Amino acid sequence: IPDTAPRAVPTSQPQVQLSFAPIVQAVSPSVVNVYATRIEAQSASPFANDPFFSRFFGDQFQSRPRESRALGSGVIVDGSGVILTNSHVINGATDVRISLSDGREFAVDVIVEDQQTDLAVLRVRDPRGVTFPAITFADSDKLLVGDLVLAIGNPFGVGQTVTSGIVSALARTGVESSNYEFFIQTDAAINPGNSGGALVDMQGHLVGINTAIYSQSGGSVGIGFAIPANMAKLVADAGVTGGAIVRPWFGAKMQAVDSDIATSLGMDAPHGALITEVAPDGPAARAGFKSGDVILSVDGQKVDDPSAFNFRLATKPIGQTTKLERLRGSATDTLDFPVEAAPAPSDNATATISATSRFSGVTVRQLDPALAESKNLPYDAKGVIVTAVAPNSPAEAMGLKVDDIILQLNDTVITDAQSFSTLASQRVRTWQIILQRDGRVSRAIVSG
């Protein structure tokens, strides 16, 4: 505000009594407490495998299940009893319950758990005829640094709590290891237990889902982060309609434009997403993008780095055409980009082993460019990737894990799911397996 702006003391009782109370009264019924129960194995005693102690104490030292509870918050997004929260609040839970601001409790089912955005959708199991107070979504793209916001949640499990602050930054990245980092930063006090709660504007509309804090002590230090409402709404809509989350695929790998790259490209300041590799016959290639191009904006909204581009594209509906501003060489132009999903795998691109085999219980999918990109692999990566391992199955006992890439079985190079299925269903004396895990290739020999 300019120094010449008039200053005045309140001249009436209503001006003195201005507060956030009307917003809180309207919004707080839409914010719930989330209680997630997990069954975890206790650490075994260091004496568990000692024959001497086992002789006298039997299995007393063996690990036993232990119940743990996590506390978080959630936001009602549909009157039928659909709640949006964070994935990390309910991940691995065997029982999830919510309580309303008036104390009523309901059991809920997890209907969407999207770890890519750290969001989850819950649905009340038995609404008992209750119509729940749903919140209204705001357009988070209209949020500005300096806007007043309220954070509502259940910090430390003490009960519903409201804090106020401002938007202190937008488009923050490097906060969590999620696929779509583009956080709203606020100085409204957010503490453990606020995760999944509401960040609302002065109209009482949801602008974000409180997700993380920056803290060295575990408590609030005035830097909290929220997932923007425009991303949260996509996940919430999938939960309300019962549909799957289908995201756009661009089909190119990118990196941030640093100062050296900006200088070499003749840019005034470093910003944008530099394309480093394009998937063969992918959407980006068909639209005319090439390695070395820099994407500067999406539908007129500036792109600072690849995270910003991924977020902007992810919020566009499939089938829509979006305008991408591109820098190539010293010239800029704008391309119409048809937003499309990654191609779905064909029926023969996946396989589940159910035969009497050491691989029984494993499900694999053969790699394609879109899948390879999502796993940070080269577009031409070969092999099949493990997508599921059944609990207590021979495959689990053998040590296979999700995201393992099986490259070779008994000197046979694995190129597709069907050849893997045929080979892995056989009974042999021994298996020689070459697989890639966490970027490292290893060889193992196991009995058949």
pLDDT in tens, 395-429: 999 999 999 999 999 989 999 999 999 999 988 88
Residue 195 annotated as lining a ligand binding site: yes
What value does the mean pLDDT take over residues 312-331? Answer: 94
Joined together, the tokens standing for residue 336 give 């119409």
User: What long-range pairs does 314-320 form, CB within 8 A, spacing at least 24?
Assistant: 314/180, 314/231, 314/234, 314/247, 314/248, 315/230, 315/231, 315/234, 316/248, 318/246, 318/248
Strand partners, 297: 302, 325
Residue with tokens 């949006």: 84
Band (54; pLDDT cuts 50, 70, 90): low
Cα 139 to Cα 174, 203, 208, 229: the distances in Å are 23, 12, 10, 7
Q: Report which of residues 447 and 386 the model is more confident about.
A: 386
Q: Are the C-beta atoms of residues 42 and 62 closer than 8 Å to each other?
A: no
- Confidence at residue 12, expressed as pLDDT on a 0 to 100 scale: 78
- Per-residue pLDDT band for 57 (boundaries 50, 70, 90) equals low
- 251 to each of 130, 177, 308, 447, how far by Cα in Å? 45, 21, 16, 41
Give the pairing of strands 273-278 and 119-124: unpaired
In the chain, the domains with their CATH numbers are 140-241 (2.40.10.10), 248-341 (2.30.42.10), 350-447 (2.30.42.10)
Q: Any binding-site annotation on 197?
A: no
In 322-412, alpha helices (H):
369-374, 394-398
pLDDT at residue 126 greater than cutoff 80: yes
φ/ψ (deg, to 5) at 8: -150, 150
Inform me whether the pLDDT recorded for 131 exceeds 90: yes
For the ranges 154-168, 205-219, 263-277, the lowest mean pLDDT is seen at 205-219
Residue 61 has pLDDT above 70, yes or no: no
Across the range 304-326, mean pLDDT stands at 94
Q: Determine if residue 205 is labeled as part of a ligand binding site.
A: no
Contacts of 411 (CB under 8 A, 6+ apart): 432
Q: How far apart are CA 36 and CA 83, in angstroms?
A: 14
Main-chain dihedrals φ then ψ at residue 224, nearest 5 degrees? -120, 160
Structure tokens at 343: 């191609």
**With 80 as the cut, is the pLDDT of residue 11 above it?**
no
18, pLDDT greater than 80: no
CA dihedral 261, 264, 268, 270 (to 10 degrees): 0
Averaged pLDDT for residues 257-272: 93
Strands 183-186 and 119-124: unpaired
Distinct helix (H) and strand (E) counts, the chain: 11, 25
Torsion angle, CA of 144/145/146/149, rounded to 10 degrees?
Answer: 70
* Digit-coded pLDDT (tens) for 190-239: 888 899 999 999 999 999 999 987 766 666 677 999 999 999 999 999 99
Helix ranges, 265-409 (H): 283-287, 306-314, 369-374, 394-398
Between helices 306-314 and 229-241, what is the axis angle to 10°?
Answer: 40
* CA-closest candidate to residue 147, choices 180, 196, 183, 187: 187
Strands (E) across 287-340 are located at 294-298, 301-302, 321-328, 331-338
The gap from C-alpha 250 to its chain's centroid, in whole angstroms, comes to 18
Q: 54 near 98, Cβ under 8 Å?
A: no
Res 447: pLDDT: 81
- Backbone Cα Rg of the chain: 26
What pLDDT is stored for residue 342 in this prediction? Answer: 92
Is 179 labeled as ligand-binding?
A: no
Chain-wide mean pLDDT for the chain?
A: 88
Question: CA 97: distance to chain centroid?
Answer: 21
Higher pLDDT, 320 or 222: 320
- Point out the residues that are catalytic: 88, 118, 195
pLDDT surpassing 60 at residue 62: no
CB 179 within 8 A of CB 215: no
Q: What is the pLDDT of residue 177?
A: 56
Mean per-residue pLDDT, 61-66:
59
Give the residue, 44 or 85, on which the prediction is more confident. 85
Longest dimension (CA), the chain: 91
DSSP, res 44: P
Return d(Cα 291, Cα 270) in angstroms, integer: 18
246 has pLDDT over 80: yes
> What pLDDT was estimated at residue 1?
42
